[in-house]
């Protein structure tokens, strides 16, 4: 069942849990994520970056997501992650995405407000939800990168939300995109998150919060991946953030790593196999496993 982020996140806000937003690029990813949602009876956000749109084509992605939504009873939305190009955002709204993110966090404050307001005007006319971002989340992901982390200021955020009327806000509280987030343990500014939630009273979004599970990284390495020493955000930190009012958590790197590890293992273990369906299935199964664990962590299991 296709719905909006606004509907999913309002329910999550009331129920004090978070909905996982999982980045997909193709058929295997979408099917693996929906399978996890069904097994967990969890609401789910399927999201694509502008990079995924470039890779797969917007019509393909919308058709895949709409088909998935038609075939499942699980409430799901299709969300554009980190929209930066207004043309792509407009195209996503027109093509059938039920939620979009306008990430103008890299431009000056007044310009961010202006761009976000424009997207809200386009989106709300069609019943599409809008996520905006204030402050910067470090690291890099697809086409988006930031060298510096600027944490979200509470008073500025209140002013921003009032001016733009966005439905959800991605806040910078110390997380970072990608697999190489921290040299050691992560450190989230939970006090700031608490203040933001109390002042804004709206669904807040956590980016850059992949856990980078060690067993998956080790598995990929065992079969030839050269990944160095990646670190993610701990399960305890994610749990604490959800408790303080995060209602959407983005997960991309963990799914990429699962796909990579599953694929490498299969190719190494079955050197005679060249049927792509057989080669890809273990990778998809590992994605399903990782997504299920996230849903349990975020408290969305059983909330469909």
For residue 285, the minimal CB distance to Zn ion (Å) is 26
In the bound state with Zn ion, the residue whose beta carbon lies nearer, of 11 and 207, is 207
In the bound state with Zn ion, the residue whose beta carbon lies nearer, of 6 and 207, is 207
Stretch that binds Zn ion, among 84-92, 199-207, 227-235, 291-299 (CB under 5 A): 199-207
Q: Does 181 help bind Zn ion (rule: CB under 5 A)? A: no
Q: Does 84 help bind Zn ion (rule: CB under 5 A)? A: no
Q: Which of 207, 248, 264, 292 binds Zn ion (CB under 5 A)?
A: 207
For residue 223, the minimal CB distance to Zn ion (Å) is 28
Handedness of CA 280, 39, 77, 205 (dihedral sign): negative
Q: Does 192 help bind Zn ion (rule: CB under 5 A)? A: no
Q: Does 292 help bind Zn ion (rule: CB under 5 A)? A: no
Distance CA 21, CA 48 (A): 9
- Is 103 one of the catalytic residues? no
For residue 48, the minimal CB distance to Zn ion (Å) is 12
List the catalytic residue out of 81, 103, 142, 254.
81
Per-residue CA distances from 98 to 30, 46, 128 (Å): 16, 10, 5
Distance CA 174, CA 185 (A): 12
Among 5, 20, 26, 59, smallest CA distance to 256 is for 26
Q: Does 231 help bind Zn ion (rule: CB under 5 A)? A: no
Which residues form the catalytic set?
81
Q: Would you tell me which residues interact with Zn ion (CB under 5 A)?
A: 207
């Amino acid at each position: 069942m296709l719905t909006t982020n606004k509907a999913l996140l309002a329910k999550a806000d009331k129920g004090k849990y978070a909905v996982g937003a999982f980045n997909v690029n193709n058929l295997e990813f979408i099917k693996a994520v929906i399978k996890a949602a069904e097994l967990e009876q969890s609401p789910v956000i399927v999201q694509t970056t502008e990079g995924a749109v470039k890779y797969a084509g917007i019509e393909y992605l919308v058709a895949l997501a709409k088909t998935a939504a038609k075939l499942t009873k699980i409430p799901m939305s299709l969300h554009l992650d980190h929209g930066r190009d207004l043309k792509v955002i407009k195209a996503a709204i027109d093509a059938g995405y039920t939620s979009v993110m306008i990430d103008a966090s890299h431009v000056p404050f007044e310009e961010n407000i202006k761009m976000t307001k424009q997207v809200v005007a386009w989106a709300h006319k069609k019943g599409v939800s809008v996520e905006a971002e204030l402050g910067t989340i470090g690291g890099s992901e697809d086409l988006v990168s930031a060298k510096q982390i600027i944490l979200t200021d509470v008073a500025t955020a209140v002013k921003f939300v009032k001016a733009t009327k966005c439905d959800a806000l991605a806040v910078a509280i110390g997380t970072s995109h990608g697999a190489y987030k921290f040299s050691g343990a992560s450190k989230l500014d939970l006090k700031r998150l608490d203040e933001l939630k109390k002042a804004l009273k709206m669904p807040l979004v956590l980016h850059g919060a992949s856990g980078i599970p060690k067993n998956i990284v080790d598995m990929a390495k065992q079969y030839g991946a050269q990944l160095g020493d990646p670190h993610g955000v701990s399960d305890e930190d994610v749990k604490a953030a959800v408790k303080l009012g995060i209602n959407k958590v983005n997960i991309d790197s963990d799914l990429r790593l699962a796909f990579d590890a599953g694929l490498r293992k299969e190719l190494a273990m079955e050197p005679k196999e060249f049927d792509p369906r057989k080669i890809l299935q273990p990778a998809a199964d590992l994605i399903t496993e990782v997504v299920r664990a996230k849903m349990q962590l975020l408290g969305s299991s059983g909330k469909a």
